[in-house]
Amino acid sequence: MAFNEVDSPVSMFNLNVKLDIVPEPNPLDIFLRDYAERMTIPLPEEMDSIEDYDQIHCNFSGGKDSIALVLLLLYGYKVPKEKLVLVHMRVDGPEEKKAFFDWKETDEYLKYCSGKLGIPLIMLSSDISLKERIEMRGMWPSSAMQFCTSYLKRDVYSKWARSLGSGKYLCVSGERAEESSRRAKKKVFETYKHANAPTKKRYVDWLRPVHHLLETEVWELMRLAGIDPHPCYEYVSRCSCKFCIFLSPAEMAKVAELHPLDFNELVEMEKRMGHTMRYEKKNPVSLLDFVKKGALDFKFDERPCAV
């Protein structure tokens, strides 16, 4: 993977990072500003003024929506760059741990984005990776029990936000109404109750600033900012976990083709746990059967590690 080299201020739990980089001048800046201004809508009335927040934590997966939300805040709502931090939750544990559910390109891509945007990046993680968590529970996460998100993202962020002490913080995330009826129902603004603690003078709110944007508008913001998309978009529609439980059969087949050893490990996990990642009408569907549905011409060796 080759992104234009840009220095990135990366930090683990360290907010005192000095920005001494100057992002590349972007010839499309004027168009970006104009477009981002047109994409803004009034912020929710119940929300305090954005200037009142000490720090704004951009929930940053490296996906297009997380990039669009930063661009909209910077160029549309004119939020001072100094208030922003990119916060990434790595589901495979600290950076030195090999990527398994995370795309292997993500760590480098996040640094590229941090450099392009000129905003510090903080990588957070749990000591227990998603794979370890699944094996400990002996089951896969599901839409009804999405413990991957709650343990590896929500709890990790909340713990870190609590460690910041007193202050007023705004968490911003990139859910859009267009994506699904479930996301459409999400509030644009609410209290981040897992980290909020008024008795300790720590206030944490949650804003979804791109909730109203369409996918085409998100891509346009990125294009005008001159930011390359994460390489995973060549294969899947969303930049989420490489083996996200919500992948379509065709997407899972494609990822399996790209990462046969990792996929084989998932197949072995299913056998060990006696629990399948996917179900159809309450009937278990093995991953091998699942990928066959999406890949009529996809020739997967059921035992790619076999010699």
Query: Minimum distance from CB of 110 to ligand SF4 (Å)?
Result: 15
**232, 217 Cβ separation under 8 angstroms:** no
Question: Of 9 and 93, which has the nearer Cβ to ligand SF4?
Answer: 93
Query: Is residue 23 exposed (0-12), middle (13-18) or buried (19+ Cβ within 10 Å)?
Result: middle
Closest distance to ligand SF4 from the beta carbon of 294 (Å)? 17
- Distance of closest approach, residue 241 Cβ to ligand SF4, in angstroms: 3
Q: Which tokens belong to 54? A: 């000490």
**CA dist 266 to 45, 70, 139, Å?**
46, 34, 12
d(CA 100, CA 284): 23
Cβ-contact 121, 111 below 8 angstroms = yes
Q: Report, in Å, the least distance between residue 183 CB and ligand SF4.
A: 12
Q: Between 141 and 174, whose beta carbon lies closer to ligand SF4?
A: 141
CB-nearer residue toward ligand SF4: 19 or 245: 245
What minimum distance in Å lies between the beta carbon of 160 and ligand SF4? 17
CA distances 158 to 37, 57, 117, 275, Å, are: 31, 11, 24, 30
Q: How far is the CB of 48 from ligand SF4 (least distance, A)?
A: 29
| CB nearer to ligand SF4: pick between 136 and 306 | 136
Select 241 or 255, whichever has its Cβ closest to ligand SF4: 241
- Closer residue to ligand SF4 in complex, CB, 62/118: 62
CA pair distance 188, 68, nearest whole angstrom: 16
Nearest residue (CB) to ligand SF4, 114 versus 129: 129
CB of 101 to ligand SF4, least distance (A): 6
For residues 237 and 64, is the Cβ–Cβ distance under 8 A? no
| Residue 126 burial by Cβ neighbours in a 10 Å radius (0-12, 13-18, 19+) | buried
Specify the residue, 136 or 307, whose C-beta has the smaller distance to ligand SF4. 136
Closest CB 146 distance from ligand SF4, rounded Å: 6
Contact between 86 and 114 under an 8 Å Cβ cutoff? The reply is yes
What would the two tokens of residue 3 be? 């992104």
Buried b (16+ CB within 10 A) or exposed e, 280-306: eeeeebebbebbeebbeeeebeeeeee
Positions that interact with ligand SF4 (CB under 6 A)? 91, 141, 146, 148-149, 152, 240-241, 244-246
